[in-house]
Structure 1
Amino acid sequence: MIETMRGAPSNRLSAAPFMAFAAMLAMLLVAGIAQAASFTGNFHGIAAAAGMTLNLQEVDGRVVGRLSAADGKKYALNGERSADQSKGAQGSLRFGSSADAVGFFRLEERPLGIQFLFMPVRADGKPNMDLARDYSFLAQGVAVAAKSHFMAAPPAGTKIDVLRFIDEYRQWDPRDVARIYAGLDNRDQALVQLYDHASADVLWRVCSTNPPNDVVSQAMVDDLLDRQRTSCADLMPIVLGAQSGGLFPEFLRRARFQFEIIRETVLCNRGQSSTSKCADVSALGAPLIVRWRDAASIMRELSRMPEPERDMPPQSVAEPGAMAPYAAAPEAPAETVKTPPLRATIADVPAEMRPTKHILREARKVVKSRRLGIRLPLADPRV
């Protein structure tokens, strides 16, 4: 027993050099792994970065590359590894041949790709953290089998009534929305296009499929963009900006309200609604038809982006029933904003809220022109 106790310290002392060597070896291995990791590669964006690509090359701690946005614009990246390897790399972005930085970036490695933080530049040359945007990129060749959150849509070849489209399109994949909308009767499509938020809701979903493609023909794109003065490539970045703000749920609510007017209008046209209710629907819809706005203008207002420079007359006083400008973003998170239940937005319209005869007359003229297939001049979104 005594000899065993005497031997114990000797064993501990002899093990110390070995433990120190093991710890040093582990540190070298970790450093070697960190050193071996590289940002070099090609990456494609997912989620909010869908349609974006990132090409990077790392040499001796310098990280350079190119970011291609969804609208086709290309940005040059120039940065370097952070002193702390775990914090990735950071640097600046420049557009085209400009020498001035348009923003800053930070790269962090992820198991399947890269996390890219974009920070716009402020007037004083510092990063604007309040407007920073986070994007996820997957390495080329990596595919993630994400569970779809969309509801299964009716199969191809199934004739879908416009009322079912109104009730279910928000739950379908954008490609199914495009496919089924294309199969609607021309009269029903024309009715949807009379309302700005309803048509904008369909348009951005269709544009997100990157048309033309196997489900969206060029003719369909041209028809959807009638009166819009934009293209899908120009519209989608504005939509992404609108979705990042707190007002997008209000846009969806207004689109839903307009689709309820469309629903009731269809029922009136089919003789399935009362005369008084049809009069109320006409009173609600007429100002919205006359004061139609293009989708890009709506999305810019949602994202607080300035309108492109052009001569714009001052906004006139809105008629009763016209959509009011968007208010400031709500305090509550976007997911807590609830839309009203279906068919709860069509109610009796008080006499003082009914539009003037002039508005009703103008609305009827617009409806008649659309039914005849006449391409209308674009209504000024601010008039």
Structure 2
Amino acid sequence: MRRAISVRLLILLLVALLPGGFAQAASFTGNFHGISAAAGMTLNLQEVDGRVVGRLSAADGRKYALNGERSTVASKGAQGELRLGSSAQAVAFFRIEERPLGIQFLFMPVKADGKADMAAARDYSFLAQGVAIAAKSHFIAAPPAGEAVDILRFIDEYRQWDPRDVARIYSGLSNRDHGLIQLYDHASADVLWRVCSTNPPNDVAPQAMLDEMLDRQHTSCADLMPLVLAAQAGGLFPEFLRRARFQFEIIRETALCNRGQTATSKCADVSALGAPLIVHWRDAASIMRELSGTSEAREEGTQPETVDAGAMKPYTAPEQAAAEAPAPAAEPVPAPNLRASIADVPVEMRSAKIISREARKVAVWRRLGYPLPLRDPRV
């Protein structure tokens, strides 16, 4: 017994003598991108003298200013408040803790009495910038081979599947579903790089499927994957994932319209919203070059000189973390949506579609009953 106690004391003494020691917690300063349920979300943090400030960008476009401090208990984690946009009142509380590859983020909405609503709290995982696609342990089980998977389920879950499962299940979707996804550049590029990471052709990604996916891309998996790695090393890759997520929501609504499960008026709005994105389709290689900041991003034909207001703009540098967000009070809002919806589209984007020539044209096509998808969005 006495010897066991001596060993424990010796270990504690060695830890105390190590340079920096284990007692000194690492700084939270850095950029992080969400995984699993937090896919499409980004987190920018700065820590100075125990104060932790930053910005949480949700997948639906909402931006939360973060202001908190290190916990007093053994310096583990940090906690504080979140404010939405220019709101002067906290809409949620947060707690963050360090993880080997990033951080764990607990989002707790504020109730009317000012206390945290733990029943509505959500836990999100973030990887530090520069960490590649989530390790195998982060993936969830995909539907087994032989089980039919609807495109709506594919949209909801593919980000959380192993790339081999993404390739296998994508290959089982109908040609119509393939065509609908290929209409949108970020959505199709998101699926393509996951499929390419399986080193096709193989048993889950046959040559025929690969040829179809690369038909309009004018590249190969061997050429695309280095561009993806370069893009992931930059600070804009989470924005690419957010845009892909948004485009997949338009794909979801279009699929429901094709099945007659949505009102005609909403279907016209969905088509109008997606029209500028379809018209200004770009190949995956060009998108990745722009994400990585290379000069080749502006190749001829990959980015038009004039872009409609409804089309996605070129990538810009991420915003700096902000410590304060003063402004008039606003009503409390729920936690960030796990999936963006058409209702979350900013008002300025909705109005932009009215003045978009392509948007009006596609809306008319929808009302007249012409089917989507089109074969090639650039034709």
TM-score, normalized by length of structure 2? 0.54
Instruction: Decide whether aligned partners of structure 1 residues 369 and 378 sit closer, same or farther in structure 2, where only a CA change above 3 A counts.
Output: farther
Which residue in 2 is equivalent to 1:344?
A: 341
Relative distance call for 1:224 and 1:351 in structure 2 (3 A) is same
Please name the residue that 1:184 is paired with. 173
Q: Cα deviation per residue 1:118-153 (whole Å; 9 max; x = unaligned)? A: xxxxxxxxxxxxxxx9999xxxxxxxxx76210000
1:220 match: 209
**For residues 227 and 276 of structure 1, do their structure 2 counterparts lie closer, same or farther at Cα, with a shift above 3 Å needed?**
same
Distance 1:322 1:204, change over 3 A: same
Q: What amino acid does structure 1 have at the position aligned with 2:169?
A: I
Residue number among 302, 327, 330 corresponding to 2:291 in the alignment: 302
Q: Distance in 1 between matches of 2:259 and 2:181?
A: 16
1:208 aligns with 2:232: no
Q: How many residues align?
A: 232
Superposition pairs of residues 16-165 of structure 1, within 5 angstroms: 148-165=137-154
The Cα of 1:226 is off from its aligned counterpart by: 1.3
Aligned residues: CA RMSD: 3.5
Unaligned runs of 5+ in 1: 1-132, 137-145
| Closer, same or farther: CA 238–363 of 1 in aligned 2, 3 Å | farther
Aligned to 1:26: none
Q: How big is the shift at 1:364? A: 8.4
Task: Specify whether residues 362 and 344 from structure 1 end up closer, same or farther in structure 2 by C-alpha distance, changes over 3 A only.
Answer: closer
Distance 1:172 1:332, change over 3 A: farther
Larger C-alpha radius of gyration, 1 or 2? 1
2:232 matches 1:243? yes
Structure 2 counterpart of 1:284, one-letter code:
L
User: SS of 2:239's equivalent?
Assistant: helix
Moved >6 Å (runs of 4+):
133-136, 362-365, 367-370
Give per-residue Cα distances to partners, 1:143-178, cap 9 Å, x unaligned.
xxx762100000000000000000000000000000
Residue 361 of structure 1 corresponds to: 361
Q: Report the secondary structure of 1:211's partner residue.
A: coil
Contact 1:227 1:378 in 2 (8 A): no
- Counterpart-to-counterpart distance in 1, 2:203 and 2:352: 50
Distance 1:320 1:208 in 2: 34
How far off is 1:278 after superposition? Answer: 1.3
Describe the shift of the 1:368–1:174 C-alpha distance in structure 2 as closer, same or farther (beyond 3 A).
farther
Note if contact 2:271-2:363 (Cα within 8 Å) is conserved in structure 1: no
After TM superposition, give the deviation of residue 331 of structure 1 in Å: 3.2
Unaligned stretches of 5+ residues in structure 2: 1-128, 323-334
Identity within the alignment, %: 63
What is the alpha-carbon distance in structure 1 between the residues aligned to residue 292 and residue 147 of structure 2? 37
Q: Distance in 1 between matches of 2:297 and 2:339?
A: 36
Aligned residues of 2:286 and 2:296 also touching (Cα < 8 A): yes
Question: 3-state SS of the aligned residue for 1:297?
Answer: helix
Aligned to 1:269: 258
Deviates most, 350-359 or 162-171:
350-359
Kept in 2: contact 1:301–1:326 (CA 8 A): yes
* Residues 369 and 332 of structure 1: CA distance in aligned 2, closer, same or farther (over 3 Å): same
Secondary structure of 1:148's counterpart equals helix
* 1:282 match: secondary structure: helix
Q: Distance in 1 between matches of 2:273 and 2:233?
A: 30
Which residue of structure 2 aligns with residue 105 of structure 1?
none
- Tell me how far apart the structure 2 counterparts of residues 355 and 305 of structure 1 sit (CA, whole Å): 33
For 1:181 and 1:310, the matched residues in 2 are separated by 30
Instruction: Report the AA paired with residue 154 of structure 2.
Output: F
